[in-house]
Structure 1
Amino acid sequence: MSVPPGIIGPVDVLTERPREKRRRRITSVEVLCVVLLAAILGQSWLQDVLDVPGLRTGSTIFVAVCVQALPFLVLGVLISGAIAAFVPARVLRRALPRRTAAAVGVAGLAGVALPGCECASVPVARRLMGQGVAPAAALTFLLAAPAVNPVVLVATAVAFPGRPEMVLARFLGSLATAVVMGLLWARWGKLDWIVARALERLPDAGGGRWKAFAEIARTDLVEAGGFLVLGAFISATLNVLVPQSWFAVLGGQLVLGVAVLAVLAVVLALCSEADAFVAASLTALPLLPKLVFLVVGPAIDVKLFALQAGTFGRSFAVRFAPVTFVVAVCCALVVGTLLVGGAR
C-alpha cells in the first residue's frame, strides 16, 4: 500500500493511519541510577565540597534515623499489605458486638492484633462500612490500627531505650484517642457527612491476592518511605541549623513545646512505624511534647486529611480531623502527665 502524499512515517495497514512514534519516558529508577553514577564519579569532589562539620553531623543524623526506622517500616507495610489482600473485612465485622459502645472498644483493641499503616487503614475502614460495620467502630479501627500495633510499639521501645513508660504512654494515649473518637461519632456523628459511595457495599476481592499484596506493599513502602526520608531530612536540618538554645527554650516552655510538636506531627506526616525515631532525635525536648507528637501523628496529619477527604468526602474530613487533633492532644497530655511527667 502506498503512502499518501504529505504523510511522513509508516502507515498502519489496517487503519491506513500513520503510526505514532512511541515516546521514551524517563522513569524515576533511571533518574536514581544517573544520580548514583554521578555521585560515584564525583566522589572525591563531593568530599571536598561537603567537608563541613555541620553537613557531616546532619548526614549522620539523617542516615541514623533512616537506618533505624527502615526495618520497622518494611515490616509494617508487609503486614498491612497481607491484611488488606488476604483478610476479608467480614471477619472483623463478625467479630464485633452489635452494641455500638462495645463494638468501639473491640475495634480499638483489634488494632493491636491487626496492624496497618495510616494509608492502609483508611480504605480498610471504608470497606468495613461497606460491609455493614457501624461507622463508629470502623473509624475507631482507622485510628487504632496504625498507632497501637506491635510493630509501632516495638519501634518506640527501640527509639526510647530504657523508657518503657513511653511505650505504655503511647499505647494508652493512642487507644484512648481512637475509643473517644468512636464514642463521639456514635453520639453526634451523622451519615450525611459521609459520601454515599463510601457506604456502598464493596465486593470481596477475587483471584490474584498475591498480586494485590505485592502492589499494596509496594505502594505503601514507596509512599511511606518518601515520608520517612522527608522526616529524617527535616530532623537532621532542625538539629544542625536550629540553635540548640532554641530547643532549650522550647524545652523550658512546656506548653509551647507541646503546641509546636503537635503541629509538627500534622505537617511532617510521618509513618507511625518511623515517627518514634524522629521524636527521639530531638534530645533537648522533654518526653511529654514527644509523646504528643507520637499520639497526634498517626491520628491526623496532612496526608491522612487528604485521604479521608477523598474517601469519605470533604464534609466528613473538615469535621473529623480538627476534633481528632484536639482529642489526641488531650489524651496524650492526660496520659503523659500521669506516666512521664516532665522527664527528659
Structure 2
Amino acid sequence: MIPVYIVTGFIGSGKSTFINEQLQYRKKLGGTACISAEEGSISLIKEALQLSPDALSAITTNQPGSYNPIADEIATYINKAKPKEVWIEWNGMLSFHQLESLLYSDKLRHMLQIEKVFYICTDQFVVSILPGLGNDVLSQLYSADCIITETDIHYALLRTYNSDAKIVTMPTPEKIAQLCHNSTWGLIPNLLVIGITAYILLVTAFRHDIPYSIHQCFAIVTGLIIEAIPFLLLGTIGSTIIRYFVPQRVLLKLLGNHSWKSYGAAMVSGLALPVCDCAIIPLFKALTDRGVPLSVALLFTLASPIINPITILSTWYAFPDDPMVSIWRITIGLGVALLVALSFRIMPPPISIMKAKTAQNFSYEEIVLEASKSKHLNKRRLLVHMEKEFSQLLFYFSIAACVLSVVQVYGKPWLINAGITLPDVWAIPILLLLAFFFSICSTSDAIIGKSLSTLFPMSSVMGFLILGPMLDIKNVYILKQYMPTSFILRLGITILVISYIAALGYQFFLG
C-alpha cells in the first residue's frame, strides 16, 4: 500500500507552497507522485496529475466502491509513476468524503492508504469565511489529522470543529516530516515500552544499587496497567461501535420526555451501551440539541458509565471476595445520578446560559456517519477512533497508577509509623479529589479502587468509585467544548456534594 498525504484548505491558504516545501525538504521528488484537484496561483514543483473539479464534484458518497472514471485515471497514473508516496492537493470547496469515495473505489483501495490529512487555514479565513461555509468545507476540517494555522489565537474555535486534530502554528518542514511519520498507536504506548525497557536495562546493570522501593513501585505500576488494559480495550471497542452504529433516533424514542419511562430508560441504557464516561459526553450534548430534556440527558450521561457491563465486570474482578461492592456501587451510583439529574429538573438553568455555546460540528457529524456506511470507510474510522481513545485513556490510567504506587510504597508506611488514621469525614473528600484528578476510565477505575482500599476506609473508596465515572479532569475538558462554565461548575459541585453524602451514608449504614 502506498501512503497518501492529503493537503486541504480554502483556496489561497498555501497548499501548493506547503507541498513544495515538504517535497524539497524530504528530497523524494523521484519517488513522489502529486495529484492536484485545484489550480492555484503557485504550481507544484513536481508535475502533478491535474483532476477536473467539475468531474470531482459529481462523485457521490453513497457507493464508494462503485466504478469511477477518475479512479481509473489515477490508477493508470500510479501504475506508470510507481511512487513510494503520494501527495494530494484537494479542492477547498469539495467534500472530503468525495475524496474518500474516490480513494476507496475498487480501483484504488488496494493501492493507496491515507496516512495523514493536513488542513491549512489563515486567521482571516477562520474568523470571517469559515462560519459561513457549508458542510463540504467543514468535512475537510473535521477529517484533518493536523490543522496548520498562522497563529494560535483561534485555537479554541478550531477545537470546536475538530477536537482530535493536532493544531500547530507555522510549523517547519522538519516538524511536518515528523508528523507524517507518527506511529500508529501514538506516543503513550511507546513511552510505556521505552520505560519498561529502560527499567530492565537499569536492573540488569545496577540491580544491587537500586533501592527495593523502586522495584516495588515499578511492580505495582506494571501490574495495575496489565490488569487494566483488557478493560480499557473493551471499553474503547464498545464505545467506538456505539458511536458509529447505534442510531440516535433509537435513543430519542426512549428519552424524549420527562416521563418516568424516560428516566428509567436513561438509568438502564448503559447495560446495552458499553460506553465509558469520556465517550458519552458528546452524545449528551447531541441529545440536548435534539430535544431530549436536560435532566434526562444528564441522567443518561451520569448513569451509563456506572451501569456499563464492562464497569460491572471490572468491579467484580477487582473485589472478588466482596461481590456486594459491585451491587452497592451500582445502587448508590444510580441514586446519586438520579438526584443530580432531578436537581436540574427542579431548578433548570436559564435557557440563555444553555445556549451560550453551540456545538458547531454536530450537524456535520451526522453527515459523516451517513457518508461512512461503506465497510471500508467504517473500518478506517473505527480503527482511528479506537487508537486515539485507547491512547488517551491509557495515558490517564498510567499517571494514576504511578501516583498510586508512590502513595502505596512511601505514603502507607509513613502513615502507619506516624500512627495517623484518617476519619471517614476526611478520608472521603480526599478520595473524591483523587477520583477527580486521577481521571481514570470508568471501565478500569475499580482496579485502582481495590489498591486504595488497603489505605483508606471502604466508604471513601465507594465515594471514589461513584464520583470518578461522573466527574474528572478529562470529563470537564471534554464538556467545556460544548457547555458554558457556569453549567459545568454547578454540575461539578452538585455531584461532589451528593457523592460525599452518599459515601457517608454507606459508612453509617453498612460500614
TM-score normalised per structure 2: 0.59
- CA positional deviation for 1:328: 2.1
**Structure 1 residues 327, 274: CA separation in 2 closer, same or farther (over 3 Å shift)?**
same
Alpha-carbon distance, 1:82 to partner? 0.5
Paired residue type of 1:54: S
Q: Which residue identity does 2:480 align to in structure 1? A: A
The reply on whether 1:325 has 2:496 as its aligned counterpart is yes
Residue 296 in structure 1 maps to residue 296 in structure 2: no
1:47 aligned onto 2:207: yes
Aligned equivalent of 1:218: 387
Greater Cα offset, 36-45 or 228-237: 36-45
Matched, 1:113 2:272: yes
Change (3 A) 1:240 1:89: same
| SS state at 1:147 partner | helix
**Equivalent residues of 1:251, 1:284 under 8 A apart:** no
Distance 1:249 1:128 in 2: 51
Q: For structure 1, which segment, 217-226 or 126-135, has the greater mean C-alpha deviation from structure 2 after superposition?
A: 126-135
1:209/1:334 CA distance change after superposition, 3 Å: farther
Tell me which moved more, 244-253 or 67-76. 244-253
Counting only pairs closer than 5 Å after superposition, residues 10-21 of structure 1 correspond to structure 2 as 15=42
CA distance in 2, matches of 1:291, 1:44: 41
Q: Among 363, 371, 389, which residue is 1:202 paired with?
A: 363
Q: What fraction of aligned residue pairs are identical, expressed as a percent? A: 24
CA distance in 1, matches of 2:301, 2:257: 19
Letter in 1 for 2:314: A
Equivalent residue number for residue 487 of structure 2: 316
Deviation at 1:285, TM superposition (A): 2.0
Deviation of 1:263 (Å) = 1.2
Aligned counterparts, 1:54-69, within 5 A: 54-69=213-228
Residue type of the alignment partner of 1:25 = Q
Root mean square deviation, CA, Å: 3.1
Aligned pairs (5 A) from 1:24-35: 24-25=177-178, 27=182, 32=191
Q: Displacement of 1:277 after TM fit?
A: 1.1
Greater alpha carbon shift after TM alignment, 55-64 vs 191-200: 191-200
2:354 matches 1:184: no
Among 254, 266, 277, the alignment partner of 2:447 is: 277
The 1:133/1:202 distance shift into structure 2, 3 A limit, reads farther
- d(CA) in 1 for partners of 2:362 and 2:468? 30
Q: Is the 8 Å Cα contact of residues 400 and 440 (structure 2) preserved in structure 1? A: yes
Note the C-alpha offset of 1:333.
Answer: 3.1
More strand by share: 2
What letter is aligned with 2:343? L
Larger RCO, structure (CA 8 Å, separation 6 or more): 1
Q: Distance in 2 between matches of 1:284 and 1:122?
A: 32
For residue 429 of structure 2, the aligned residue among 259, 278, 283 is: 259
Could you give the per-residue CA deviations for residues 275-333 of structure 1, whole angstroms, max 9, x where no partner exists?
11112112132211110111011111122112212211222112211112112222333
Out of 154, 176, 182, the residue aligned to residue 313 of structure 2 is 154
Partners of 2:457 and 2:194 in 1: CA distance: 43
1:197-227 deviation line (CA, Å, top 9, x unaligned): 1499735221133333223222211111001
Cα pair distance change 1:69/1:106, threshold 3 Å: same
SS at match of 1:114: coil
- Within the alignment, does 1:88 sit opposite 2:247 as a pair? yes
Tell me which amino acid in the other structure corresponds to 1:162.
D
Distance 1:126 1:173 in 2: 25
How many angstroms does 1:41 deviate by? 6.3
Aligned length: 331
1:321 partner amino acid: G
SS at match of 1:270: coil
Q: Would you say the 8 A contact 2:428–2:503 is kept in 1?
A: no
Ranges in structure 2 where 5+ consecutive residues have no aligned partner: 1-23, 30-40, 47-170
Is contact 2:236–2:389 with CA below 8 Å preserved after alignment?
yes
Q: C-alpha distance in 2, partners of 1:47/1:269?
A: 34
Shift of 1:266: 1.0
Change (3 A) 1:328 1:254: closer
How far the C-alpha of 1:113 sits from its partner, in A, is 2.0
The secondary structure found in structure 2 opposite 1:281 is helix
* Amino acid in structure 1 at the alignment position of 2:394: G
Q: Tell me the alpha carbon deviations over residues 103-153 of structure 1, each in whole angstroms, 9 at most, x when there is no partner.
A: 223201112221211111100111212222112111111111112211111
The one-letter amino acid of 2:301's match is L
Please point out which of 93, 100, 124 is paired with 2:283: 124
Taking the aligned partners of 1:60 and 1:123, their CA distance within structure 2 comes to 36
Unpaired runs of at least 5, structure 1? 1-7
Aligned counterparts of 2:200 and 2:320: Cα–Cα separation in 1: 36
Check 1:180–1:102 CA distance in 2 against 1; reply closer, same or farther (3 A cut).
farther
Q: Which residue of 1 aligns with 2:405?
A: 236
Q: Which residue of 1 aligns with 2:477?
A: 306
Which range moved further: 146-155 or 40-49?
40-49
Q: What residue is the counterpart of 1:79 in the other structure?
A: 238
